[in-house]
Amino acid sequence: MKRLFVGFASLALIVALSAFTPAKTPKKENSQPGSSFSMPDSVKAIVDHSCFMCHNSNARGDAKDKLNFDELSSMKGPQLVANLANMAKMIKNDWMPPRKFLKDHPEMALTAQQKQVLLEWIKAENNKIFSEN
């Protein structure tokens, strides 16, 4: 009986633990066949630090409906251009990360230098997309 209980308890523990470990999202290659979308490590580091927390497929809330970094790399053409241009708008206007959010996470604010890295990347990506079509 005792052994049975221990067995069940450890099973329950394993189930509980696995529920709390974040679901692994398959790592996407930086460039995929058919689209030359690429995100250099310098950009990815900023995105991971300041944006990805809300803008990913598993995030709670509706930020991912506006922009989802898990889906960005599979986007093409006008849709990708629109997403990138809107990203630039948000960064330029200091609308993202939201001020309210930064109250609790001040370390996630974008520095002037980080903003520049993102904006230059966006510009280069958009130019590339236009030149390829």
Partner 1 sequence: MKKRNRKLWRYLFGTLIVLFVVIQFIPVHKPKVIKDNPNDFLLNTKMPAHVASMFQESCYDCHSNQTKYPWYARIAPSSWLLASDVTEGRAHVNFSNWTKMSKAQQIAALSDIASEVKSGDMPFWAYPIMHPKARMSKADRKELVDWAQKYQNEIFYSK
In the bound complex, what is the minimum distance in angstroms from residue 15's beta carbon to partner 1? 38
* HSE value, Cβ hemisphere, 13 Å, CA-based, for 100: 0
Task: Tell me the residue type at 69.
Answer: F
Dihedrals φ, ψ of 62, to 5°? -110, 15
In the bound complex, what is the minimum distance in angstroms from residue 94's beta carbon to partner 1? 11
In the bound complex, what is the minimum distance in angstroms from residue 2's beta carbon to partner 1? 57
Nearer to partner 1, 31 or 79 (CB): 79
In the bound complex, what is the minimum distance in angstroms from residue 79's beta carbon to partner 1? 7
Nearer to partner 1, 51 or 129 (CB): 129
**Beta-ladder partners of 35:** 32
Site of interaction with partner 1 (CB under 8 A): 77-79, 81-86, 88-89, 93, 126, 130, 133
User: Burial level of 38, CB count in 10 A (0-12/13-18/19+)?
Assistant: middle
- DSSP per-residue codes, 17-36: HHHHSPPPPPPPPSSBTTB-
Nearer to partner 1, 89 or 105 (CB): 89
Nearer to partner 1, 49 or 89 (CB): 89
